Amino acid sequence: MATGPIARGKRDVFLAYARNNATLAKAVDRFLRSAGLSVWFDQRDVPAGTLWLAAAARGVAQAGRLVILLTETTPRAWLRAEFDFAARTVARHPEVEVVPVIREGFDAGDFAADLERLDPVMLPRDKALLEDHLKLLVARLSVPQGMPSMPPPPQGNPYPGLRPYGLADGRGFFGRERETVEATARLGTQAGGDFVRWLRVEGPAGVGKASFARAGLAPAIVRGAIAGGRGDWRVIAMRPSEDPFEAFAGAAVTTFNDLRPEAVRTLLAQPAGLADLIREGLAPDEGVLVVLDHLEDVLSAADTESLDAFDGLLADALDDFDQRLLLVTTNRSDLVDATLAALPRCADVARRHAAVLALGGLSRSGLRDVIEGPTRMVGKPLPADLAQRIRRDAERFVSAPARLSWMLQALCRGPRPTVGRYEALGGLGGGVARALDQGFAQLGDDDRQRTRDLLTALVASGRGRSDLPVAITWDEALVAAGEGPRAQALIQRLASPEAADGEPLPPALVQLTRDGQVDHVRLGHSALLSHWPTLSAWIAADRAILERRADVEQAARGWLRAGADPAALPQGPLLALQAGDDLPEDQRRRLRASLRTRTRHYVEQAEAAQRQREADAKAAERAARDRAEKARDAEQRASRAHVRRLRLFVALGFIGAGAAAWYGLDATRREAEMRERVEWASQQRAQAVEALRDAEAKHLAAEQQRKAAERERRLTEHERRAADRQGAKAEQSADVVLMFAVEAAVEADEYFSRIPGNDGRYARRMYAEAVRARLESRLAEDPDNRRLRYLLARQHGLIGDLAADEGKHRASAPSYEAATEVIDALVALEPDERYVRAQAEAHTRLGRLLSNTRKGPDDPQAAVDHHRKAVEIWTTLAEASPDDRALQAQLADTRADLGLALMQVEGQGEAATAALAQSVTETRALVRANPSDIELIHALARRIGRLGEAEAAQGDFAGAVARYDEALRLLDPFTNMAEHRSLIRTRASVKRLRHFAKAQIK
């Protein structure tokens, strides 16, 4: 029975409410106090500088009733966190009555049965009827009555066993209240005004970091414990895997389930993608809490590109000004330095935006709370002697949380818990190991060997540090467990062990998780490494295999990072070592089965290349033998031929002696003929020299005539230019006064731009409007004055620029359109080069405005039309001045704008790709002519990246990856140059897009 008002402590009521219900909460507080009830209300009872969570804990400990205010706008996450808090409060203070107060329109959903048991008080939406219903609430709070208790956790057993507590296990999470208060104090707005958005929870293995982050700290933040926090929090909870970026993207898709998955992934692939997702996907009073437990898992990441993208995604969001992001990470204290070294950008951000909480073992009061609180909550309190025995044993273990959770779960499953049953289970020191050994003994011989192979594949050798659990994919786990249907059934059995009624549930040896789009297998709990001597013995026996596997994994990662060059694959003795050829057959089999898929492919490719080299060597040896045999045969044939030739020479000698006599008689005749031929050739040479001299004389005369004509042309050109200069001076003098006035306006605008704040912007806008009005008045008097038309178009453009600079994009559109209209009419009358350039600039400006991709183009087809007009004009100008690099650059730039605009129009994907490809070709030509121009290189890389996006949108992900690779090659030389931050941001964006495209190919 309830004890009535002010039965305990100093307050009748503790009023709990979500922040978006603050107005109604104030009204309820005023009414209850006017009725004479003492109310704890945080807006009044939490002094400045006081920690909200600590004040709330003291307040509810002093109250007789816990009133929970619920409306149709109450966030579901807050409701779950507040109900879990209420259940823990009742477990500690059974005399507290929980009174839900529900306004009409509230959807109870999964909480309907719980609320019905608590006999809620209903409030109407009509304010005129509110007072009558509040009187019923006062009556309920003022008169003692039966107090229905909070329901226990849904499974009836408040302990999760040998697995971490999750986001949904907050109701049974006890023992870390002091640490939770300390953690919330280090997040959010600090005393000096700084906003800390990253809390790094560090501690030894098995101390309960993941459980604390998910079931303790996250619900406290959702309840409103952070100074400067939000009223409604979305929680992204994940654990990094071999592909941390994809794991994060998959968790974000689940959390932002009101957005299309492809939209979430596209946003995350952009620079500052998480910050953009928060700005575009959340209401102003919403926030995102990211919980990354076991951050040290990034040390086993297989994909370095994914790791870099993950690092940049978090660092960019933490560095953003938006305070709607909070990050909580857990990290083994002995791996902190290595983890931050793998995430260099996050390490840099940590110095500015992070706080550290060192989480140790449970305190004595925390141990008492863990042992007694959940059992009281389910109505099965432990005997005093048993609770004291467990507390005494737990004080000896730093990793007590995991041992405690399993032991208390086992005690709650069986008959009445006693000290004897506790000892029969093995106590805290040996209970987990005994249960694991018993479960392992129930397996057949073959399954025991498969289990050993699988579990050692889930461990990475620490080499001087503690060993580290790792995640492997489902397919890799099947290979490690021996493959086939039997391996699949064994993994499922190890992940979901069964026990008879009343018997303790054996700990799960493995856990199955889904990270992003990939199923992974992990150890059931990292505490298995220290709590199960059998596993420790296997690891010690297989230490050489684990270290060999680590070496091969590292070699494979280095080979992949260097470009996967087939020529760089290991060979010879190194390959034999990495393939395990020096190991006994059983160890070699287990080494090969435990390799990751990418490493197995690396070794298999190296072995295939080695076999090919050996086959090539054998073929070369056979060819050499064949060539040697052919050489011997040829030598023998040559020897026989030499003998035949000697015999022939002897015979021919006799014949030659007779022939010589005949040739001697004929020599005199042939000499006379030769002399005649020489004389004829001398005559021909003399005639050719004479003809050459005549040709040279004619060429000289023609050259003299050409030079005279050139002098005449130059004289004519000089006279023409003098006439042009005279005409230009006459034309300039006609409007000298007007030009002076416009120049004065430009100088005045520059002066006004130096005035800070809204005053300067107002002065610039007013002065620009005055000049425009004066030009329009002057043009009305002289409508044929083309120079005035040109100046008016420029002034319209200036006014549009001023509006755009202030972020008023819609206000700038009329000015840009007016500039375009005036300059188009002027060019139609006189296509002067100045006017044509201004026309191209006007259409380019208006096209870019209409292509605003942040809020989406209002009229994408109009943007395309203006860009096409601008491209047409710039093309004409560039063809007329092919050596003008500035014109060529402007044409390439505008054509790229056209491609981006076409991407916004449905059905124009191919046209967009063509325009971007042409822009890339033009920019590449400019880079070849100016290879040291960094801005041009940056522009080329951006346009190649955009071309990749267009190809990806068409479904050509392989082509997109090739484009991204080309862009990265251009940007890589600038990676370490801090002065080129824009290039570094572009590179990070391209890497994310490449990663996304590769994921689509897979």
Predicted confidence at residue 479, as pLDDT, reads 93
Just give the CATH number of 176-361.
3.40.50.300
Tell me which architecture the domain covering 11-142 has in CATH.
3-Layer(aba) Sandwich (3.40)
Handedness of CA 588, 590, 596, 598 (dihedral sign): positive
User: E strand or H helix at 561, and its extent?
Assistant: helix 543-561
pLDDT, tens digit, 9 for 90 and up, residues 613-650: 889 888 888 888 888 788 788 877 877 776 676 655 54
CA distance 623 to 640: 26
More confident residue, 724 or 403: 403
CB 370 within 8 Å of CB 155: no
pLDDT of residue 221: 95
- List strand residue ranges (DSSP E) for 274-372, in order: 286-292, 325-332, 354-358
Q: How confident is the model at residue 701 (pLDDT cuts 50, 70, 90)?
A: low
Whether pLDDT at 600 is above 80 = yes
Residue 127's pLDDT band, with cuts at 50, 70 and 90, is confident
**458: how many CB neighbours lie within 10 A of its CB?**
23
CATH code of the region 861-1002: 1.25.40.10
Q: What is the pLDDT of residue 68?
A: 95
User: Which residues make beta-bridge pairs with 123?
Assistant: 103
Distance CA 672, CA 293 (A): 109
Q: What percent of the chain has pLDDT over 90?
A: 27
Cβ pair 219, 84 in contact under 8 A: yes
Reported as a pLDDT band with limits 50, 70 and 90, residue 664 is: very low
Cβ proximity of 201 and 213 under 8 Å = yes
Angle ∠(806,810,814) on CA atoms, nearest 5: 105
Per-residue model confidence as pLDDT tens digits over 962-983: 888 888 888 887 766 656 677 7
What's the full length of the chain, in residues? 1002
Q: What is the pLDDT of residue 853?
A: 45
Report pLDDT for 802: 80
The mean pLDDT of 11-25, rounded to a whole number, is 92
Distance CA(518)–CA(246), nearest Å, equals 9
Q: Is the pLDDT of residue 223 over 90?
A: yes
Which pLDDT score is estimated for 882?
A: 85
What is the structure's pLDDT at 737? 42
The pLDDT of residue 560: 82
Residue 38 pLDDT greater than 90, yes or no: yes
Mean pLDDT of 273-279: 89
740-761 CB burial, b ≥16 within 10 A, e <16: eebeebeebbeebeeeeeeeeb
Residue-wise pLDDT for 346-396, tens only, equals: 999 998 889 999 999 888 899 999 999 998 888 888 999 999 999 998 888
β strands within 377-517, DSSP E: 459-460, 468-469, 472-473, 510-515
User: Phi and psi at residue 742, in whole multiples of 5°?
Assistant: -70, -40
Residues 6+ apart with CB under 8 A from 306: 243, 244, 245, 246, 995
Q: What is the pLDDT of residues 800-843, one digit of tens each?
A: 888 777 777 777 888 888 888 888 888 888 888 888 888 888 88
Question: Taking CA 209 as the corner, what is the angle to CA 207 and CA 210, rounded to the nearest 5 degrees?
Answer: 125
The CATH number of domain 740-850, selected from 3.40.50.920, 2.60.40.10, 1.25.40.10, 3.10.580.10? 1.25.40.10
- Is residue 471 within 8 A of residue 297, CB to CB? The reply is yes
8 A C-beta contact, residue 861 and residue 881: no
In this structure, the strands spanning 459-460 and 468-469 are antiparallel
Burial category of 569 from C-beta neighbours within 10 Å (exposed 0-12, middle 13-18, buried 19 and up): buried
pLDDT at residue number 731: 44
Q: pLDDT tens digit string along 730-770? A: 444 434 445 544 554 555 555 555 565 666 666 677 777 87
pLDDT band at 695 (very low <50, low <70, confident <90, very high): low
What average pLDDT does the structure give for the chain?
A: 83
- In this model, does residue 8 exceed pLDDT 50? no
Per residue in 843-872, pLDDT (tens digit) is: 888 888 888 644 445 678 888 888 899 899
- Please, which residues have CB within 8 angstroms of residue 486's CB and are 6 or more apart in sequence? 446, 447, 450
